A and B are shown apart, each in its own frame.
Chain A
Amino acid sequence: MSVISVKNLIYGYSKGTPFEKGALKGVSVDFRQGEIVALIGHTGSGKSTLLQHLNGLLKPDSGDVLFEGKSIYESKKSLRDCRFNVGLCFQYPEQQLFESTVYKDIAFGPTNMKLSDDEIKKRVYDSIKYVGLSADYLEKSPFDLSGGEKRRVAIAGVIAMEPKVLILDEPTAGLDPLGKNNLLKLIKDYNEKTGNTVIFVSHNMDDVAAVAHRVIVLSDGELALQGTVDEVYSQGEKLAGLGLDVPEITSVFIELKKAGFDLGDTEYTINGAKEAIIASLMKGGAV
């Protein structure tokens, strides 16, 4: 079943001025209950713009966004319902943090949901732990944190609302390798524990391969490709044509093929690659 679907979305920035710019040119996509979707595309392809429509922060010039089958723009109530159920982490955490302490910032969403004080407190402590920060941070000002810490606080603020759809715009940007792996784990874990949908943007094809069930590729405000990770990654050349990388393993396999060892072109994880190489060695007997 689809939680959010987007129908023929058209959106332009700065309408009616000389700076007018079409950012989305008729995009239709479905996001299904319980899946992890990765949104990829070159810089300026409209990823962030699309995400800001999913919780109604932007209003399309034409087209519609349906949350659980109902248009989110239908009434003020449906828009607010959608905001409580679709949690969006902005591309730059600085854009999202505004309160004077980390505690207040994380509590902002739950407070708007009119939860009880005990419940709010519980959610704040749980979510700061969830993103891997200690409770010592709660009394600090979010503006005095490092970039990676800000990122985590911003994510905690959204997770505290326990949204049915969690949206993360480039969540791994600016994190160290350990922080990045933890974040990918968090995405998987949130999805598995709650059964909720997660949508994230990433420029790193290996990260996408590691957690996503499905991949959507945008290019110049239009849907270029979509499908399972296998389906999308096997079209290495098309991806390259859209200004995107293929995962490292895929490029190794492409080179191997050029050198005369055809192992197929659908492998993109290290384990899969290992199996494929072993299988081919067994079959061929020797190299």
Chain B
Amino acid sequence: MIKDITIGQYFPGKSFIHNLDARFKIILTVAFLVLVFLCKNFWALGVVWVFGVVIYLLSRLPVKLILKSFKPLIPIILLTTVLQLHYINDGNVLFEWRFILITDKGIFTAIFIAARILLLLLVSSLLTYTTAPTDLTDAIEKLLSPLKIFKIEVHTFAMMMTIALRFIPTLIDEIDRIMSAQKARGADFESGNLINRIKALLPIFVPLFISAFKRAIELADAMSCRCYTGGDNRTRMRQMKISWRDIIASVVTVLIIGGVMALNILFENLI
């Protein structure tokens, strides 16, 4: 169940997307996220969705696994959608009962927002699906290196990010382990009303934090045992190189940004 969540994991591969330079991938992902927010009507969003799906197909990730991993997020998306429905009061009224008022504009906006959230989640998780954590750190470090003039320890920061990413799957395993241990001794996560179920979840978090701290200490020990001292003046085994792929990907992204702007102007805007 919870183990199905693969967000944050890395799936090794040799696809076009995998082979992009990590620095470009980060910048393009950010550009894509901005792009999603730029969309103001269904036409623009539709184009970006198609773009997103094409990127996924190019990455040749196991589709089934990815879909499964998004299943637990559906309630969150639904919740935001329902809240949206409630906040928008103009447009033609379709349904009214006490304080509940649903309009056609509300429904459109809700669908729009849900599509937007889903796309944001899909694309941002693609970055970690297709980039090895070490490449990701290197790239973050390179991209942030101008900040060094402000005496910010960029390497340390990048290391923290990698460790955080690396431990997401570990923490998920840990939740699974604690739930099994508690189930084996009669804890009940499945029956009762919502309140009871949430109450049953609480005892999971204390042990989860304890074990996370323990892991952090162990990791710190292991790193000092291997004489880790931070990143100043380190050289790299693999140098990052810009290739034709990165150029193509950037050009396509810029074109699509232009296209979305045009669509925003051409069609009536929803929000």
Chain A interface (Cβ < 8 Å from any Cβ of B): 16-18, 55, 57, 76, 80, 83-84, 87-88, 90, 95-100, 108-109, 112-113, 143, 157-158, 161
Contacts and interface: CB of A to CB of B under 8 A. Distances in A.
B185 A157 contact: yes
Interface stretch (B80-88, B94-102, B142-150, B206-214): B206-214
B93 interface: no
A83 B185 contact: yes
B191 interface: yes
Nearest to A77: B191
A100 B182 contact: no
B188 A100 contact: no
Interface in B160-217: 177-178, 180-188, 190-191, 203, 206-207, 210-211, 214
A75 to B, nearest CB: 10
Contact of A161 (B177, B185, B210): B185
Given A98-B178, A100-B206, A143-B210, A109 B185 contact: yes
Contacts of A98: 178, 181-182, 203, 207
Contact of A113 (B182, B186, B190, B214): B186
B181 A96 contact: yes
A10 B181 CA distance: 23
Given A57-B184, A108-B182, A143-B214, 4 more contacts: A57-B180, A76-B190, A143-B211, A161-B185
B53 interface: no
Contacts of A83: 183-186
Interface of B: 62, 64-65, 177-178, 180-188, 190-191, 203, 206-207, 210-211, 214
A112 B187 contact: yes
B169 to A, nearest CB: 13
Nearest to A157: B185
A109 B178 contact: no
Nearest to A88: B184
Contacts, number: 56
Nearest to A106: B185
A17 B67 CA distance: 13
A177 B133 CA distance: 45
Contacts of A95: 177, 180-181
Closest 7 A/B residue pairs (Cβ): A112-B186, A98-B207, A109-B185, A96-B181, A83-B186, A98-B178, A76-B191
Contacts of A88: 184
Contacts of A87: 184-185
A112 B200 CA distance: 11
Contact of A57 (B178, B183, B190, B206): B183
B59 to A, nearest CB: 16
Contacts of B210: 100, 143
Given A16-B64, A98-B207, A99-B207, A55 B184 contact: yes
Contacts of A157: 185
A98 to B, nearest CB: 4
B186 A161 contact: yes
A244 B207 CA distance: 38
A143 B210 CA distance: 9
A96 B184 contact: yes
Nearest to B214: A143
B62 A17 contact: yes
B181 A80 contact: no
Contacts of A17: 62, 65
Nearest to A161: B185
A158 B185 CA distance: 7
A57 B182 CA distance: 10
Contacts of B181: 90, 95-98
Contacts of B183: 57, 83
A84 B186 contact: yes
B188 A112 contact: yes
A87 B177 CA distance: 16
Interface centre among A90, A100, A108, A143 (most CB of B within 10 A): A108
B216 to A, nearest CB: 14
29 contacts: A16-B64, A16-B65, A17-B65, A18-B62, A57-B180, A57-B183, A76-B190, A80-B186, A80-B191, A83-B183, A83-B184, A83-B186, A84-B186, A88-B184, A90-B181, A90-B184, A95-B177, A95-B181, A96-B181, A96-B184, A97-B181, A98-B181, A98-B203, A100-B210, A108-B182, A112-B185, A143-B211, A143-B214, A157-B185
